[in-house]
Structure 1
Amino acid sequence: MTATTLPAAPGPGPGPSPVTGSAQRTVRRLIVYSLLFVLVTIAAIGLSGLVGRLLETGTPLAAGGNAGLALSLAFTLIGGPLAALLWWVVWRRLTDDSERSSLAWGLYLALMYTVSLIVATSALVGTLSSLVSDGWRPGDFSTGVVWALVWAWHRWMWRHPAKGPIRLATVPAVAASVYGLIIGIGGGVTALGSLFDTAIRRASEQVFAGTTWWQAPLESLIWAVAGGAIWAWHWFRDDARRLDAGLARVALVVVGVLWAGFVMLAGLGTVLFVLLRLAFDSSDPASEILRPLGMALAAASVGALVWVYHRGVVARHSAGTRRAGALVMSGLGLVAAASGIGVVINATLAALVSPIAASDTRSLLLGGISALVVGGPVWWLNWKPARRVEATEAGSTGRRVYLIAVFGISAIVALITVLVVGYLLFEFGLDPTTTASLVDKVRAPFGLLVATGLVFGYHFALWRRDRSVIAAEGLAPARRIGRVILVTSGDAVALEQAITDATGASVTVWRSLDEPGVGPDAAALAGALEGVTGKRVLMLAGPGNRVEVVRLAD
């Protein structure tokens, strides 16, 4: 069913413009929530300063100067009551659905929730880490406790059944899970790397200025446990793993797949580089060559563990999300392989120009080989260049964006490199006193130019071929609709894919508050959009088999 809205007849007299009223409410909300954010931050800073002074054992409250105490008192006793009063006014207004569904309310909660979580975690985990190494830090502890209370307060508001945000309601869970995963990976890599390094280079070499070998791994382990706990809490308890909104999918692909894949490949490449140097490069002592091995093994292990898990999560999502996961890994492998080609060309030219100094460029050559050996298979397995590409895949938005981005970026890099090579050529020709070889001056940018030229040529040819295949098959979806806003309470993955296949439109999913149940199938949604045109279309799916399509004004 397609519903259209007729313009209302003009009223008998002048009245306030709805657009003007809406703009006034938007500006008012922006000012109020910005002011609330500032006041809560000021009150938290002041209170943490006072608590920190109280926790200083045997130290008077005014120790450290009256200026600092006066600032903490002003922030606490003035900023705190003002923040409480403004919050009380805002909280009363949230009984109105228009206030609760405002973008400003959801944005405020998402920002303050994330900021308070980051500050509290950094301070509390820093306090625990300091207990391992250099002792008690009451200032960090007080900051962590106060901001943890701010986080708990905003979590209560976020999860409130009657006044929690409707828009951006999933952002806190996604942002917190991403933050936890990042610091968990960092702490895990550092802790495990320190242990590997101790095992490889002996514990006796780890003692510097009275620091024992287990202190650094233990401090990093605290960060890894804290990050893992934050991630698990929001990923499983808040069910961030099941979110299929745009931001959740971007975070899953970018952090869970791309970032973890980068850590894994960087570790694997460094391990291979160290092994190649041990076998073919004796210019440095073995202890110096082995120095990065422990951290590289840790990065490869932790990165692979996180990548494998999120790769499985991506496999259970829609075809578009799976394709995005494969494309980002393909791009990562392509960057590594292209960098390896450029470095290999650079090192080869250096060895040809100065055979006597070939040993100095051997490590450069081995580094390029390592990047090429690690990145090449990753690109091949994800891109699959030997297989035949169907017209439907060739016309997919993800593949077209990927091709355009790759050959566009490579073209820009190649252009800059050409300018650098030209500059070096002119500089060499205009300087009669130079003793350096021309090849030695241009070998680094020339290697990069060759690599980016190969990348540009290959992907530009693929893009041209895909266009011809799509035109020959006539399978390019007609862009009758620019964007579809799908409102549903059920699983939207299959529905979203059906809308994209039928119209070629981008889809934004809005979750309704109805109980999830049996809704219309994908075929019903595609049929309801038959013949509908417009820049933006609102589609209501459910409850039951109800399907309603509303064309929105531009």
Structure 2
Amino acid sequence: MSSAQGTVRRLIVYSLLFALVTIAAIGVAGLLERLLGVGTELVFGSTVDLARSLAFALIGGPLAAVLWWSVWRRLHDGAERASLGWGLYLTAMYTVALIVATSMLVGTAASLVDDAWRPGTFAAFVVWALVWVWHRWMWRHPVKHPVRLQTVPAVAGSVFGLVVGAGGAVNALGALFGAAIRGISQTTIAGSPWWQLPVDGLIWAVAGAAIWWWHWHREGAKRLDTGLASVTLVVVGVMAAGLLMLGGLGTSLWVGLRIAFDAGASSDEILRPLGAAIASALVGATVWTYHRRIAAGRSDGTRRASMLVMSGAGLVGAATGIGIIVNSVLAALVDPFASSDTRSLLLGGISALVVGGPVWWFSWRPTERAEPAEIAYPGRRIYLVAVFGLSAIVALITLLVVGFQLFAFGLASTSGASLIDQIRAPLGLLVATVLVFGYHFAVWRRDRSVIAAAGPAPEQRVGRVILVAGGETTEVEQAIRATGASVTLWRRADVAAGTETEHAAEPEPPIEVETAARPDPRAIVAALDGVAAKRVLVIAGPGDRVEVIRLAD
């Protein structure tokens, strides 16, 4: 009962603290805007805005301070620091403050480029930047830092910075390439100079790159090997960047094919998406190459997952291309004198197939026989089930649409369009999804037969190792990862590692400490041999002592 009461209490307290800090920040930002905007013309409703800012700042601020002080004093208790609520609150407020401060900073910089001063935007940046600094101090506090979700702010910050930086780089380069390809006069929008869009994109790119670098290198997100860090590395760094790269390549190829074979369209219409496509391909390829190289050096599961997500990205492109080609061919059968729209559709399908097909082929390698270890990899089975399961759902929906169009055409007394013209789009999608379903279902059945013929599945090995050790542990971590397990390192505090500490501590009476010795990788791997668990705790030291403890799921 006491545990449940503590959970409910933390949920209420931290939710209330989040709301009060947000209210106080809005109020202080409004007052600071008034101070910075002295001398400007007051607008209608400013009295109401002032009253709201005063109420938020003078009522919400003290309440937030009192509640925070009460929470901060409780964090001397280890149970409070280890609670999920403390970690969730810091992660949420840290991320929100970072996003708002970044947006306001970029807005201020963009307004200065436009030769305009917006005190409200700058005031919001100052206040939310202070909120971010405050919560980073609590996150990195040597004693009261959260025990759970301790690495999530670094991962969230790096992902946010990467997305913002990549998006800004695409916008900046796309505007530059568009101006170079189509001409400056054709890229001017609403009287703004041609360089306005590139500069705005550059501001976002610089801000995002700085945030990403800070969290990736300074906060240590690059060194994290937790489940969340691995998932974000694969999903954002590899898959999302790969999709951006493939989309840019496919669009660039489509523009090139239209220039060569679609003479009916104007050149300005054809070249319009080329600048953004080239920028997407370049930025996506840069981000994908960097993260793909990091994923290749991680655990075997992370490496295989990065290959599977690229296989899925290529499969989506190839299947989309097949569906569009079938659609355009049927359209040409209805109208032998194909219009420019039909040719553009056909060329788009060819581009998607040409770009996505090779990516899927080299990532999946359908002509090579999969090794038993690859077949037994759970991620492969999940991938196959997900692909043919989603394909079956899409095929069922498109089949219903085709059937509906057939019955509607047969029951209608008059129809202005031919039957093929009405069903060509869902029919093309149906053909593509049936092909995808059939192939991947056959592969799944073949893998099941191979696993059944091999006999009972081997005993589950270790999934994650939490290593508690001192001294140099690089070789130990590499040896554990070679077994297929991921590693999370916890440094021992009862050994003298001879390295500088992050926070200065008050002088204490001299005590005898053990000199940090380098753990023996062979001894630790031998201790893990035969252990089957999702997570284990490995304690290395003192001396040659190695203890392996299975952890509950």
The two structures have a TM-score, normalised by structure 2, of: 0.90
- 1:47-85 residue CA offsets vs partner (Å, 9 max, x unmatched): 001111111130489974322111111110111111111
- 1:219-262 residue CA offsets vs partner (Å, 9 max, x unmatched): 11000000000000111111211100011111111111111111
Residue pair 2:301, 2:484 contacting (<8 A) in 1 also: no
Paired position in structure 2 for 1:101? 82
What is the letter of the counterpart of residue 540 of structure 1?
Answer: V
Residue pair 2:389, 2:437 contacting (<8 A) in 1 also: yes
- 1:408-465 residue CA offsets vs partner (Å, 9 max, x unmatched): 1101111111111111111011102113211111111111111000100111111111
Q: Which runs of 5+ in 2 are unaligned?
A: 498-516
Distance 2:407 2:391 in 1: 24
Paired position in structure 1 for 2:252? 271
Query: What pairs up with 1:188-207 in 2 under 5 angstroms?
Result: 188-207=169-188
Relative to 1, partners in 2 of residues 1:358 and 1:494: Cα closer, same or farther, differing over 3 Å? farther
Q: Does 1:151 align with 2:149?
A: no
Which of 298, 303, 311 is the matching residue for 1:322?
303
Distance 2:3 2:159 in 1: 34
What is the letter of the counterpart of residue 61 of structure 2?
Answer: G
Q: Which runs of 5+ in 1 are unaligned?
A: 1-19, 501-506
Match of 1:512, SS state, is: strand
Paired position in structure 1 for 2:509? none
- 1:248-281 residue CA offsets vs partner (Å, 9 max, x unmatched): 1111111111111111111100100000000000
Paired position in structure 2 for 1:540? 538
Offset of residue 497 of structure 1: 6.1
Residue pair 1:43, 1:75 contacting (<8 A) in 2 also: yes
Residue pair 1:392, 1:475 contacting (<8 A) in 2 also: no
Offset of residue 134 of structure 1: 6.0
Paired position in structure 2 for 1:396? 377
Relative to 1, partners in 2 of residues 1:272 and 1:475: Cα closer, same or farther, differing over 3 Å? farther
Q: Does 1:432 align with 2:410?
A: no
Relative to 1, partners in 2 of residues 1:496 and 1:305: Cα closer, same or farther, differing over 3 Å? closer
Distance 1:378 1:363 in 2: 23
Residue pair 1:417, 1:445 contacting (<8 A) in 2 also: yes
Which of 438, 445, 451 is the matching residue for 2:432?
451
Residue pair 2:247, 2:280 contacting (<8 A) in 1 also: yes
Which of 490, 501, 505 is the matching residue for 1:512?
490
Match of 2:483, SS state, is: helix
Paired position in structure 1 for 2:29? 48
Distance 2:97 2:302 in 1: 31
Offset of residue 208 of structure 1: 3.9
Distance 2:216 2:376 in 1: 34
What is the letter of the counterpart of residue 12 of structure 2?
Answer: I
Paired position in structure 2 for 1:311? 292
Which of 64, 71, 88 is the matching residue for 2:69?
88
Distance 1:139 1:28 in 2: 36
Which of 227, 233, 242 is the matching residue for 1:252?
233
Relative to 1, partners in 2 of residues 1:289 and 1:61: Cα closer, same or farther, differing over 3 Å? closer
Offset of residue 92 of structure 1: 1.5
Paired position in structure 2 for 1:169? 150
Q: Does 1:408 align with 2:389?
A: yes
Query: What pairs up with 1:238-387 in 2 under 5 angstroms?
Result: 238-387=219-368
Distance 2:261 2:550 in 1: 68
Query: What pairs up with 1:17-32 in 2 under 5 angstroms?
Result: 20-32=1-13
Paired position in structure 2 for 1:498? 483
Residue pair 2:461, 2:530 contacting (<8 A) in 1 also: no
Distance 1:23 1:529 in 2: 39
Offset of residue 498 of structure 1: 3.2
Count of aligned residue pairs for this structure pair? 524
Of structures 1 and 2, the one scoring higher in RCO (CA 8 A, sep 6+) is 1
Offset of residue 538 of structure 1: 4.6
Relative to 1, partners in 2 of residues 1:40 and 1:472: Cα closer, same or farther, differing over 3 Å? same
Q: Does 1:222 align with 2:200?
A: no
Match of 1:355, SS state, is: coil
RMSD, aligned CA: 2.3
Match of 1:547, SS state, is: strand
Distance 1:252 1:340 in 2: 28
Distance 2:349 2:412 in 1: 32
Relative to 1, partners in 2 of residues 1:398 and 1:526: Cα closer, same or farther, differing over 3 Å? farther
Distance 1:532 1:174 in 2: 29
Relative to 1, partners in 2 of residues 1:125 and 1:311: Cα closer, same or farther, differing over 3 Å? same
Offset of residue 155 of structure 1: 0.7
Match of 2:537, SS state, is: strand
Paired position in structure 2 for 1:13? none
The two structures have a TM-score, normalised by structure 1, of: 0.89
Residue pair 1:53, 1:61 contacting (<8 A) in 2 also: no
Match of 1:311, SS state, is: helix
Paired position in structure 2 for 1:127? 108
Relative to 1, partners in 2 of residues 1:526 and 1:344: Cα closer, same or farther, differing over 3 Å? farther
